[in-house]
Amino acid sequence: MENEKFTILVVEDQKINRDILSNLLNPEYDVIEAENGSDAVEKLEHCPEITAILLDLVMPVMDGYQFLEYFKDSDFSALPLIAVTGDKDDETERRVLELGAWDFISKPYQPATLLTRLKNVIIRSQYYLISRMKYVYEHDPLTGLYNRSTFFSEAGKLMTNHPEIKFAMVRVDIDHFQTYNSFWGEEEGDKLLRSIANQLRLVSERYPPCIYGRINADAFCICMPDLKDEIGMIAHNAFDELAVYNKKYRLVPSFGVYEVEEPWDKPQKMYELAKLASTECKGSFIDYLAYYRPEISRRLLENQWVINEMQHALDSNQFEVYLQPKYDINRGYPSGSEALIRWNHPTRGILSPAMFIPVFEQNGFICKVDCFVWETVCRLLHDWIARGIDPLPVSVNVSRVNLYNPHIVRIIQNLVEKYSIPPKLLELEVTESAYMTDPEIMASVVSELQSRGFVILMDDFGSGYSSLNTLKDVSVDVLKIDMKFLSDTSDRNRSRKILESTVKLALELETPVIMEGVETEEQVNFLKKIGCNYVQGFFYARPMPVPKFEKLVFA
C-alpha cells in the first residue's frame, strides 16, 4: 500500500463527523464525502477511484441499511465497506455484516482502530482482486474450466508429478458446432458448451488424477490416466447423450486420443496429436473415437509436401498426361481414350494420383490441373490432326469444383476453338456425385455443353444413392460404370443382376455404357454377355505415356 493513495468514500449525514473523519483520513487517503446513502450511490457511479467505504447507518433519505441492500447487488459490491455507528449492540453488528459489510466500528471514532481496520480491508480487497484477476486470467469465462494456457501448464505439472501413471490426452469437439450455433443461437450453443464442461467435471471425479479444460470454441481436452476401456466408455456415453440432447438436431462428438509416450514433452504437442487423431472421425456418424497413429502425421506431412510442391510442379512441367485406351468390347480395338494426370517428380519419380488428387480437390488446385489436362489434350488432338491421323476421342475429367465455375463452358469452348478441333473429340467426364449435389446447375451446364457439340460421360454411375433420378433428369451421352460395383458387395449374384439390368436400361435409352476397371477375362465375358459396349481397364491396357499410346493405337 506504499506509494499509492487510496480514495475513501465517507458516507455520513452529519457534517461534523465528516469533517472529523476527513481530518483523520487525509494524510493517508483522499476522501470523497456523501451526505446519505443516495448521495453515496451517485458518488460511486461517478468516482471510479473509490477504494473503500465508511458508511454511517442512521441517515435520512437513504440510510445505511438501505444502502447496503443496494450495494450488495451492485457493480461495486467488491469494494470493502466498513459500517460505522454509535450503536454498539451485537444485533446491529450482525445485521450489517450479514448485509455485506466487511467490518464494523462504532462511534466515537478510535483513530488507531479505524485506520488499522480500514487498512486491513483495503489490503484484503486487493488480495481478493488479485485472486479474482488470477482466476479470470486462468479460467474460461463461459464454462469456468481452465483455459487453454492454464490447461497445458497444469497438464504438464500433472504428468511430471505422477511419473508412475501413463496418461492420455483426450480431445473432444462437436462436429459442425458452428452450424448448431447458427441454427439455434449463441445462447443455446453456450448452454451446450456448459453441459459438456459439466460432463468433464464428472469424468474428472471418476478417473483421478486428471486435468481438464476448454481449449477454444467447442474443443475441450482432458489429460487423464490412459485407461482404454474407460475412455471408450466416456466417448460412447457422450455419443449417446449428445444424440438425444436436441431432438431436432443430431449432435455428434469427435474424440481424438493421444497416448502419452514421453510425458516430458510439451502438452501442446500432445494436444495437437490428439486433434489430428480426431480428424479421423470427422463427418462420420459411426466413428466418434480415434487414437493417434504415426500414419496420420505422415499423411499430413505428405499432404503438406504436395501443397508445397504443386505450383512449382505445374510451372516446371512435372505433370504429364497419360492416356488409357477404351476398347470396343466386341471388335477388340481402341475406340477412344481417357486422359489421366501423372506427376513425374524429379526426385521422387512417378507419384500416384491417389496421393495428390484428393489434396488438389480439397484446396481447389484441381481447377488448374484440369485446365492443364484439357489444354494438353486439345494440343495433342490438334497435333494428330495436323499429322494426318484420324484421331480417336479423348475424354477428360471435369472436377466438381470446375462445374461450379460460371465460365466453364466458355473456357472449354475457347480451348477447342484455339486448337481448331471438333468438340466431339474432347469428351467430358463428370462424376455422378456432382449431379447429386446440385442437379439443376449440373443439368444446365451439361445441356449447354451438349448444345455446343461436346459429348458428356457420366463417370462412376451407380455410386450414388439416387442414380435412377439422375438418369431421369440429366441427359448424358455415355455412362461409365466401375467394375468395383461387383466386387464391393457380399452378394455378387444380386450385383450382377442389377448391373445387367442397368446396362439393358442404358441400351434402351440408347446410351452407350463403358465399364471401367476391367481386369480379368471372366469379367470381359460377362460384360459381353450382358451387352456392354465398351471397356477400359488393366486387362486391355494400363494408362501410358502419349508416345506409347500412339504406337499402340495409330501404328
Partner 1 sequence: MREKEGVTEIIEGLKKWGCDIDSAMPRFGGDESFYCRLIYEVDEEKGFTELGSQLKNGYIKESFETAHMLKGVLANMEITPMYETTCRIVELLRAGTLEGTEQLYNKLISDKTVLDQILYREEA
Binding mask 371-390 for partner 1 (x = CB under 8 A): --------------------
Cα torsion 492, 498, 503, 508 to 10°: value is: 160
Q: Does 94 bind partner 1 (CB under 8 A)?
A: no
Nearest CA to 425 out of 390, 373, 460 is that of 390
- Minimum distance from residue 112 beta carbon to partner 1 (Å): 7
- Minimum distance from residue 24 beta carbon to partner 1 (Å): 7
Cα torsion 519, 521, 527, 532 to 10°: value is: 70
Residues 10-29 that bind partner 1 (CB under 8 A): 13-17, 19-20, 23-24
Nearer to partner 1, 37 or 334 (CB): 37
- Minimum distance from residue 124 beta carbon to partner 1 (Å): 25
> In the block, which residue shows the cell 481496520?
117
Nearer to partner 1, 89 or 473 (CB): 89
Residues 50-89 that bind partner 1 (CB under 8 A): 56, 58-60, 85-87
- Minimum distance from residue 58 beta carbon to partner 1 (Å): 5
Q: Does 39 bind partner 1 (CB under 8 A)?
A: no
CA distance 258 to 504: 52
Q: Does 108 bind partner 1 (CB under 8 A)?
A: yes
Q: Three-state SS for 46? A: helix
CA distance 415 to 421: 9
Nearer to partner 1, 64 or 537 (CB): 64
Burial of 166 (0-12, 13-18, 19+ CB in 10 A): middle
Provide long-range contacts, Cβ within 8 A and 24+ apart, for 141-145. 142/190, 142/193, 142/194, 142/214, 143/193, 143/194, 143/196, 143/197, 143/214, 144/197, 145/197, 145/200, 145/212, 145/213, 145/214, 145/220
Nearest CA to 263 out of 209, 204, 216, 199 is that of 209
Nearer to partner 1, 35 or 482 (CB): 35
Q: Does 109 bind partner 1 (CB under 8 A)?
A: yes
- Minimum distance from residue 92 beta carbon to partner 1 (Å): 11
Neighbouring CB atoms inside 10 A of 393's CB total 19
Number of residues that bind partner 1 (CB under 8 A): 22
- Minimum distance from residue 125 beta carbon to partner 1 (Å): 25
Q: Does 112 bind partner 1 (CB under 8 A)?
A: yes
CA distance 445 to 434: 11
Nearer to partner 1, 24 or 221 (CB): 24
Q: Does 91 bind partner 1 (CB under 8 A)?
A: no
118 near 111, Cβ under 8 Å?
no
Q: Does 406 bind partner 1 (CB under 8 A)?
A: no
What is the contact surface with partner 1 in residues (CB under 8 A)?
13-17, 19-20, 23-24, 56, 58-60, 85-87, 107-112
